[in-house]
Amino acid sequence: MIIPARIPRWFDGLYPRRIWRMTDASRSLYLTFDDGPHPDITIAVLDMLLSYQAKATFFCIGDRVTRYPKVYQRLQEEGHEVGNHTYRHLHGRKNADQDYLNDIREAATCMDTQLFRPPYGRLRASQQKAVEGMGMSTVMWTVLSGDYDVAMKKEECAARVLRKLCAGDIFLFHDSEKAAPRMLYALKCLLDKGLKEGYTFDAIRFQDLSI
């Protein structure tokens, strides 16, 4: 069963060292993409963002950065931000701290960023403390698109992200083959509605984070 789309505000207090939404965001919304870069899907996302003059944050897997360096280079050249999503997409609670942290450090050798997002949204408090010791902030999300759920129709995915737009919302999508049919449709719907309602789509900058 897929979890609810919008993360309740009491999560901010439960996990106060994690970023669930942006503050002082004016009329900004924040698109984020996990698990790339992908040689086709990420390119499709970048083309769409360029056509809307929208910026986003890509939480990249180190192994895929090394495999698709030209895609990674393009997203940086077009003004998007990148974040560390480990090197091999490890689950924090299913791996020993040392193995998990070494995987993050390996990813850091191929991408320069102070943003981190744990795969599956799971990590231990000890792991988060160590991530902070590396100078990185843990960025989560406000709205989960659910685009990875192959049983979900693309219209249902769009409805999850369109239900309620609030300044500072961080939207989680996946630039992967599995998610693409729902993600690309929902992303276009969100861009259309957000711009129509006067929002801008901005990248998450480390210097703008408040924890």
Instruction: Give the whole-number percent of the chain exceeding pLDDT 90.
Output: 89
Based on the residue annotation, tell me whether 47 is a catalytic residue of this protein. Answer: no
pLDDT given at position 3 = 74
Lowest mean pLDDT among 19-28, 61-70, 139-148, 173-182: 19-28
With H, G, I as helix, E, B as strand and everything else as coil, classify residue 181.
helix
Q: What integer is the mean pLDDT of 78-82?
A: 98
pLDDT of residue 2: 58
Q: Could you confirm whether 34 is annotated as catalytic?
A: yes
Is this prediction's pTM over 0.95? yes
For the residues 96-108, what does the mean pLDDT come to? 97
Which is catalytic among the residues 103, 174, 175, 202?
174
Options 3.20.20.370, 3.40.50.1100, 3.40.50.2300, 3.40.50.10420; CATH for 10-82+142-206 is 3.20.20.370
Position 72 scores a pLDDT of: 98
Is residue 1 scored above 60 in pLDDT? Answer: no
- Would you state the pLDDT for residue 11? 85
Work out the average pLDDT over 146-164: 96
pLDDT at residue 127, as a whole number? 97
Of 6, 31, 11, 21, nearest to 168 by C-alpha is 21
How far CA 134 is from CA of 9, 97, 129, 174, 209, in Å, comes to 27, 14, 9, 25, 16
Partnered with residue 46 across adjacent β-strands are: none
Q: Please identify which of the residues 34, 35, 103, 169 carries the catalytic annotation.
A: 34
As a whole number, the mean pLDDT across the chain is 95
Q: In whole angstroms, what is the distance from residue 81 CA to residue 88 CA?
A: 20
Distance of CA 105 to the CA centre of its chain: 19
| Buried residues in 90-123 as b, exposed as e (16+ CB within 10 A) | bebeebeeeebbebbebbbebbebbbbbbbebeb
Q: What pLDDT is attached to residue 12? A: 85
Summarised one tens digit per residue, pLDDT across range 32-65 is 999 999 999 999 999 999 999 999 999 999 999 9
Domains of the chain, residue spans: 10-82+142-206
With tokens 């997002």, the residue in question is: 117
Name the one residue in this structure whose structure tokens are 């408040």. 210
pLDDT of residue 4: 83
Q: Is the pLDDT of residue 26 over 90?
A: no
